[in-house]
Amino acid sequence: MVKIFIDPGHGGTDPGAVGNGLQEKNLTLQISTRIRDMLVNEFNDVSVLMSRTGDQTLSLTQRTNAANAWGADFLLSVHINAGGGTGYEDFIYPGVGAPTTTYQNLIHEEIMKLVNFRDRGKKTANFHMLRESNMPALLTENGFIDNAEDAAKLKSASFIENIARGHVNGMVRSFGLTRKTSTVYHTVVSGDTVYSLSQRYGSTVQQIRDWNNLDSNYTIVVGQVLLVAGGPSSLTNATKAAQGNLQTDSIVDYLNSINKDSTYANREKLAKQHGINNYSGTAAQNTQLLNKLRK
């Protein structure tokens, strides 16, 4: 069991950096909560403890004491920058070696794959959260709240989602986490009627038949569109297929719901294909792309 301690920076009477209608304490809690939920809900053998789950006031000492007392394997402290710059950077304590440097490299790499922030590099600093923790620790600075361009991105739910996913992907690589058994949906076509079947990853054709009461009249191709030779009468456990997640306003969630690549690079490619030029991941552009893909 890997024990990961997540520290949303600031909170309570300490708002952290403020700018462009945003407060650092709120953004760090949003990002950290999504990181926790992704890790716990999607991966095996990982336990997460957060220094705060609401708008509490905590000292730096209280945070590192909690991580040390819990015996965390890794500490992640999430922050938003200020001071007139732009982009993403992260910090480890000066002079530490592997595995801390390895974790920094992997998490930095995965975040930069998903967010279109300027890469400010991997750095070291004598920060309390890094110095007083007994385990490998990383502090991330996710954009500049006082930079209008960075702030516009931080106001986007899909951008926050990508920041969180980048952190998670880096920790998955760092600790060799394995994904939980998931449920995916494949399309079943019978004439003009579209249905969906629930299929577990790694399942066999026979398992799919058993779970859905399908007889040998149905031709099933695992991992592809499922073509049925019979009619819908014997498709007793099937339900009407959704055309992606129609409830979400997040382009990332929508692309994931239709099993498409949701990384920034692919969204930029899709935007160009749909006539959205100079895509930079703004909330307005993501909404425009989402609407085009749903047509």
Q: pLDDT digit string (tens) for 9-31? A: 999 999 999 999 999 999 999 99
Mean pLDDT computed over every residue of the chain: 81
Amino acid type, 48? V
80 has pLDDT over 50: yes
134 has pLDDT over 70: yes
| 215-230 pLDDT, tens digit each | 554 444 433 333 333 3
200 has pLDDT over 90: no
| 44-76 pLDDT, tens digit each | 999 999 999 999 999 999 999 999 999 999 999
The DSSP result for 38-79, as a single string, is HHHHHBSSEEEEES-SSS----HHHHHHHHHHHT-SEEEEEE
Count other Cβ atoms within 10 Å, centred on residue 240.
Answer: 9
- Judging by DSSP bridges, how do beta strands 183-190 and 119-124 pair with one another? unpaired
Provide the pLDDT for residue 141.
Answer: 98
Q: Calculate ∠ Cα 233-235-240, nearest 5°.
A: 105
The mean-pLDDT minimum among 115-124, 178-187, 233-242 falls in 233-242
The DSSP result for 10-32, as a single string, is -BTTB--SEETTEEHHHHHHHHH
125 has pLDDT over 90: yes
**Catalytic positions, please?**
141
257 has pLDDT over 80: no
Distance in angstroms between the alpha carbons of the first and the last residue of the chain: 44
Long-range contacts of 283-290 (CB under 8 A, 24+ apart): 283/152, 283/155, 283/156, 283/157, 283/158, 283/159, 286/156, 286/158, 286/159, 286/250, 286/251, 287/249, 287/251, 289/251, 290/249, 290/250, 290/251, 290/254
Q: Which domains occur in the chain, in start order?
A: 2-175 (3.40.630.40), 183-240 (no CATH), 251-294 (no CATH)
Confidence of residue 279 (pLDDT cuts 50, 70, 90): confident
Phi, psi of 50 (to 5 degrees): -105, 145
Provide the pLDDT for residue 247.
Answer: 60
198 has pLDDT over 70: no
Provide the pLDDT for residue 244.
Answer: 55
Confidence of residue 164 (pLDDT cuts 50, 70, 90): very high
How far apart CA 100 and CA 220 sit, in angstroms, is 47
Tell me if 109 sits within 8 A of 167, measured CB to CB: no
Provide the pLDDT for residue 181.
Answer: 59
Provide the pLDDT for residue 145.
Answer: 97
- What tokens were used for 111? 């975040």
240 has pLDDT over 80: no
Tell me if 187 sits within 8 A of 230, measured CB to CB: no
Bigger pLDDT: 186 or 284? 284
Peptide bond into 99 cis (omega under 30): yes
Residues linked to residue 142 through DSSP beta bridges, in sequence order: 88
What is the average per-residue pLDDT within 82-93? 96
149 has pLDDT over 50: yes
How far apart CA 280 and CA 284 sit, in angstroms, is 10
Provide the pLDDT for residue 262.
Answer: 79
105 has pLDDT over 50: yes
Bigger pLDDT: 234 or 19? 19
**Percentage of residues of the chain with pLDDT beyond 90:** 57
